[in-house]
Structure 1
Amino acid sequence: MKLTRLVGECEDGECPALYVTDRGTLAVQGGLLTDHGREVPAHEAVVEIPAELIWKAVRDNLI
């Protein structure tokens, strides 16, 4: 799968970011949350990103 970065918090690639995939889906990179109280399947994860990333992508017509 190919990821194309849409928006992110920094330029070094190790910060919250929003990507579009070559499958037409979105992928997020963020801090892994473990204290959320939800049951999450082993093949999934809950991550946290700043809401501003989504707003910026929408504002800039990236998604």
Structure 2
Amino acid sequence: MKLRFLGNNSTGGDCPTLYATDRDTYVVQGWQIFANDLLMQLHIPDGEAAVEVPTELFDHLKEDGLPASSITRVQAPVVILTAQGTCVVQGKVVTDTEALAQMSIPHYETCVEVSKSDVIALAEEPSGTDFQR
């Protein structure tokens, strides 16, 4: 899997990062979930993981030709919005060696692959909502 860097929220390099892939997906690199209160809210099937990232990470979607937008609702792949302004993203654990070789992942982070269409749906207004009042 080939990755295209879209952006991150730090100058240090080892931080939550968003990538587009050549498989019509996104890879979200973020903090591993260790907090028991978050873990108790999740059902994570085998082969999947959840990462916590700032909601602003998705502003980098503009680098993939999409409007930058806030994540304000919970539906897959975002499974929790926290009071701290972060979101928990659940997806398939990235095991592809080519992709992993393109990233710098510190021990307290991991990365998940999520469908591009699922992420785009989170950035769109809910259907049926009339904002023309």
TM-score of the alignment, normalized to the shorter chain, above 0.5: yes
Q: CA deviation at 1:2?
A: 1.0
Q: State, as a whole percentage, how many aligned pairs show the same letter.
A: 39
The gaps in structure 1 that reach 5 residues or longer are none
1:49 corresponding residue in structure 2:
53
Structure (1 or 2) with the greater helix fraction: 2
Paired residues in the alignment total 61
Deviations 1:7-47 (A, max 9, x none): 10234542101110111111100001133211201211110
For the pair shown, the structure with the greater C-alpha radius of gyration is 2
Unaligned runs of 5+ in 2: 67-133
Distance in 2 (alpha carbons) for counterparts of 1:12 and 1:5: 15
Residue 61 of structure 1: CA displacement?
5.2
* AA of the residue aligned to 1:32: Q
Q: Quote the RMSD (CA, aligned, Å).
A: 1.8
Distance 1:23 1:51, change over 3 A: same
Q: Please, what TM-score do these two structures have when normalized by structure 1?
A: 0.77
Compared CA separation, residues 20 and 61, structure 1 to 2 (3 A): closer
